[in-house]
Amino acid sequence: MDNSGKFYITTPIYYVNARPHIGHAYTTVVCDTIARRQRMMGYDTWFLTGTDEHGQKIERSATAAGCTPKEFADKVSSEFRQLWDRMKLSYNDFIRTTEPRHIKGMQALFKRLQDRGYIYKGSYSGQYCVYDELYVDVTEPGAPCPECGRPTETIREENYFFKLSAMEEPLLRLYTENPDFVRPETRRNEVISFVRGGLRDLSVSRTTFTWGIPVPGDEKHVIYVWLDALANYITALGFGSDDPKDKAKLDRYWPADVHMIGKEIVRFHCVYWPAFLLAADIPLPKSIVAHGWLLFEENKMSKSRGNIVRTETILDTLGADTLRYFLMREIVFGSDGSFSFDALVQRFNSDLANGLGNLSSRTLSMITRYFDGEIPYPSLGARIPADHEIAELANKTISEFHAHFEQFQFSRALETGWGLVAAVNKYIVDNEPWAVAEKDDQDSRARLATILHTSAEALRIVTALVHPVIPESTARIWEQLGLGDIVKLDLRNLAWGQLPLHTKLGKVEAVFPRADKSTVERMQQMEQERSTASTTAIEAESTPPSPTQDTAQKAAVSAAATSPGVGASTITVDDFAKVDLRVGQIKVAEKVKGADKLLRLEVDLGTETRQIVAGIAKAYAPEKLIGRKVVIVANLAPRKLRGLESQGMIVAASIGDDGVPVLAGFLEDVPLGARLK
C-alpha cells in the first residue's frame, strides 16, 4: 500500500452489450470489499468502476436492437449503475467511455503517444475477433479465434500502429523488477512467456466502422476499443483536463494501487496497458490482480453461453449481503469457483443465519432480558479459563484476518472470522447463561455478566472485521450493540476489551431473513422467468457473441418483431446468408421440469436431430407440437437453459405486449432440412 495514505482501486469497465450478471458483480463486490476495508484502515480511498461503450461489438448489438449505439449504451450502462446502487456498492466514480471527459482525455493520450513517436501510420491485413475485440495471429479467413473459438473476420485497412515491439525489453524488466506487478504468480508467468514469445506492433485504429473516439486530426479513424477502454483508469481521474481540480485528483490518486480484473483480460492489462503508459511516460499502476471465473454448470458464466445468473434474483430473495458473503467465502480468490443456488442457501443457513445471526440474536436478547439492555460489567472474580480463551482467540483472529485479507485470501480470512463465531456459540452453549440466570445469588449474577460481556465483545470484534464484506447486516448488529455508525470505526485499533461498559443496546431484531428449501425453488423460478424472457428475441439486443450468432439473432429479431419499427436497420444479403435457417419437424416435445414457460423439443432436420429448448410452453401444449414443421436457426451457438443444451433457436412471431409466440410454418409441404434463403 501507499505511504501517502491513498488507495486507488478499479474494476474493469464492463461492456454494455451484455446485461450485468453475478460474474460482473463478483469483481465489483471484491473491489467494494477492499475499498471499504481500506477506508476503515485510514486510507484516502478512490474506487472506480464504469462501462465500456465503444467498438464494433456494441455497434452490432445496437443495430440488432434497432437503436443507435448511444441509446443502447445509455440503457445498459444505467442498468449496471442501478444494480450497483441497489447493492449499495461504495464506488466513488462511475466512468462511461462515451462521456466527454473520457473522449477528451483519450484523445490527449493518443496525441501524446504520437508526439513521442510511438504511433505511426501503416496498413493491416489479417484476422480480427469482434467478440474479444482482438487482432489475432491466424491466417485463414474465418479461422477460429485462438482465445474464444468464434470465427474471425478479415480486415484490410489503413491503420495507426503502436510500437509495441519496442516495449518487449522494458516490459520484461518491469515484470522482473516488480514481482507484484501481475498477481497471482500463475498469471505473471503467463504474461512473461507471452512477451518473451515476441511482440508485434499493434493496430490502434479502425476505419470500417464509426462507433468510437475519432483519432485527433484524422477523423475517419476511430481509436482501437482496448486503448480507449484502458485509458479510463486515468481519464476518470482527470487526465487530459485543464481544470486544476482534475489535475490535483490525478496527482493524488494515480498510479492505481490495484487494477482488479478477470483472468481472460490479463494480456490487455499486463502487456498493452503498461506498454501504452511507458510510451507516454506516465507512471505505472502498482499491481494488476487477476481473479478466476465464476462457473455455472461447469462453464464460465457468460451471456453467450446462456448460463448466467442474474444478481437481482439473489437480491430479491436473500439480499446483497448473502451474495457478497457467498462470493467472498465460497470462491477461493484467484481460482475458478462454482455458483449454485443450493450452495448459496447452504452457506446462508450455516454461516449467516445459524452462525453470526444466532450469536448476535441470543447474546443481545439475553443482555436485554437479564441486564435491561445494558452491556454488563465483567466481574474479574467471576472469570474462568474459557473466558480468557475467547479473548485470546479474538485477538488472534484479528491479526490472522488482517494478514489473510492483505494477501487477497478472502475466503481464509472469513474462515478465520467464523472460527471465532463458532467458538463463541459453543462457549455460550457450554456456559449455559440461561441456567446461570435462574440462580439469584451474587456470584451467579457476576458469572452471567461475564459470559454475556465476553460474548458481546467477541460479537463486536467479528462484526467489525467482516463489515467490509457484509456491510448492511453488520451495520445493523453494530447499532443493536449500541455502538452507533460502524463506518466511523478505525479498524487499525481493533482489539479485545474496547466494548464500553453500560452501553445501552439498540432495538434487538433478527438480521438475516429466513431461508428454507422453498428459497432455492423460488430463485430457480425467478431465474427461469427471466431467462425465458431472454429466449425470445427481446434479449438478442444484448447478446454479444460471434458474428455468425450475432447475425442469426438479428434475423431472429426481425422474425419476432411486433412492429415494423423494430429492427428497421438494414443488413446486407451476405449478412443474411450467414444465418442458416432450416425446416425441421418436431419429434419430441415435453415440459421442462420446474420451468413453466419452457419446452424441450427434439427437432428432425433430415440429416440430424437437434435438442432445442424453447420458451413457448404457455402458447403450445407439447402434444399438439408433435409432427409439426417449424423453422429453426441451425447455426446458432449452443447454449444451456435449465441445464439442457439448446442447439438452435425456433423462429416465432412475438405477438402483443406479452410477446406471445406464434411459430413460423408453411402452407405447402416442404422437405426436412430445406434451407430458407
Q: Which residues would be at the binding site for ligand ME8 (CB under 6 A)?
A: 12-15, 23-24, 26-27, 52, 229-230, 232, 261-262, 264-265, 293-294, 300-302
The contacts of residue 426 (CB under 8 Å, 6+ apart) are none
Grid cell for residue 150: 468464434
Number of CB atoms found within 10 A of residue 669's CB: 6
Question: Nearer Cβ to ligand ME8, position 95 or 617?
Answer: 95
* C-beta of 297 vs 415, nearer to ligand ME8: 297
For residue 307, give the 3-state DSSP assignment.
coil
Residue 497's SS3 state is coil
Per DSSP, the three-state class of 563 is coil
Q: Sheet of 299-300: strands edge to edge?
A: 299-300, 294-296, 337-338
Please give the helix or strand (H or E) that residue 633 lies within, else none. Answer: strand 629-633
Q: Minimal distance in Å, beta carbon 49 to ligand ME8?
A: 10
Q: How far is the CB of 24 from ligand ME8 (least distance, A)?
A: 5
- Distance of closest approach, residue 398 Cβ to ligand ME8, in angstroms: 30
Rounded Cα gap, residues 21 and 662, in angstroms? 30
Q: CA torsion 375→377→382→383, rounded to 10°?
A: 70
**Alpha carbon 539 to its chain's center:** 19
**β-pairing, 288-291 with 258-262?**
parallel
For residues 324 and 322, give the distance between their C-alpha atoms in angstroms, rounded to a whole number.
5
Q: Which is nearer to ligand ME8, 253 or 371 (CB)?
A: 253
Helices 410-431 and 442-466 pack at an angle, to 10 degrees, of: 170
Residue 302 or 536: which CB sits closer to ligand ME8? 302
Q: HEC states along 334-393?
A: CCCEECCHHHHHHHHHHHHHHHHHHHHHHHHHHHHHHHCCECCCCCHHHCCHHHHHHHHH
CB of residue 253 to ligand ME8, shortest distance in Å = 17
CA distance linking residue 445 with residue 117, whole number of Å: 80
CA pair distance 24, 19, nearest whole angstrom: 9
Main-chain phi, psi angles of 54, to 5 degrees: -100, 175
Paired with 15 in beta bridges are 52
Closer residue to ligand ME8 in complex, CB, 14/110: 14
Minimum distance from residue 145 beta carbon to ligand ME8 (Å): 14
CB closer to ligand ME8, 276 vs 620: 276
- For residue 209, which of 227, 194, 230, 223 has the smallest C-alpha distance? 223
Taking Cα atoms as reference points, which of 12, 524, 495 lies closest to residue 232?
A: 12
The count of residues in the chain is 677
- CA dihedral over 502, 506, 509, 511, signed as positive or negative: negative
Q: Which residues have C-beta within 8 Å of that of residue 220, sequence separation ≥ 6?
A: 207, 214
Chain mean position to CA 112: 33
CB-CB contact of 448 with 436 (8 Å): yes
Nearest distance in Å: CB 71, ligand ME8:
19
Contact 313, 307 (CB under 8 A): no
Minimum distance from CB of 385 to ligand ME8 (Å)? Answer: 46
C-beta of 307 vs 553, nearer to ligand ME8: 307
User: Residue 62's closest CA among 15, 107, 14, 13?
Assistant: 15
Instruction: Extract the C-alpha cell encoding 268.
Output: 490487455
- Residue 10 CB, shortest distance to ligand ME8, in Å, is 8
Q: Which one, of 474, 459, 30, lies nearest residue 261 by Cα?
A: 30
CB of residue 396 to ligand ME8, shortest distance in Å:
32
Minimum CB separation of residue 147 from ligand ME8 in Å reads 11
Q: Which is nearer to ligand ME8, 97 or 553 (CB)?
A: 97
CB nearer to ligand ME8: pick between 29 and 393? 29
Shortest gap between Cβ of 83 and ligand ME8 (angstroms)?
A: 13
Q: Give the residue from 205, 238, 247, 199 showing the smallest Cα distance to 121.
A: 205
CB of 224 to ligand ME8, least distance (A): 12
Nearest residue (CB) to ligand ME8, 28 versus 463 = 28
Residue 164 or 586 with smaller CB distance to ligand ME8? 164
* Least distance from ligand ME8 to the Cβ atom of residue 38, Å: 19
Between 106 and 294, CB nearer to ligand ME8:
294
User: Can you tell me the distance from the alpha carbon of 211 to that of 530, in angstroms, rounded to the nearest whole number?
Assistant: 30
Provide the minimum distance between the beta carbon of 389 and ligand ME8 in the complex, in angstroms, as a whole number.
Answer: 40
Q: Is the peptide bond before 671 cis (omega within 30 degrees of 0)?
A: no
The Cα–Cα gap between 463 and 329 comes to: 16
- Min. distance of Cβ 267 from ligand ME8 in angstroms? 11
Closer by beta carbon to ligand ME8, 14 or else 405: 14
Nearer to ligand ME8, 23 or 285 (CB): 23
Give the residue with the Cβ less far from ligand ME8, 89 or 601: 89
Nearer of residues 262 and 584 to ligand ME8, judged by Cβ: 262
Nearer to ligand ME8, 184 or 648 (CB): 184
Which amino acid, 449?
A
**Least distance between ligand ME8 and beta carbon 462 (Å):** 28
Instruction: Quickly tell me which residue has 431467462 as its cell.
Output: 531
Are the C-beta atoms of 311 and 20 separated by less than 8 Å? yes
Alpha-carbon distance of 73 to 69, in angstroms, equals: 6
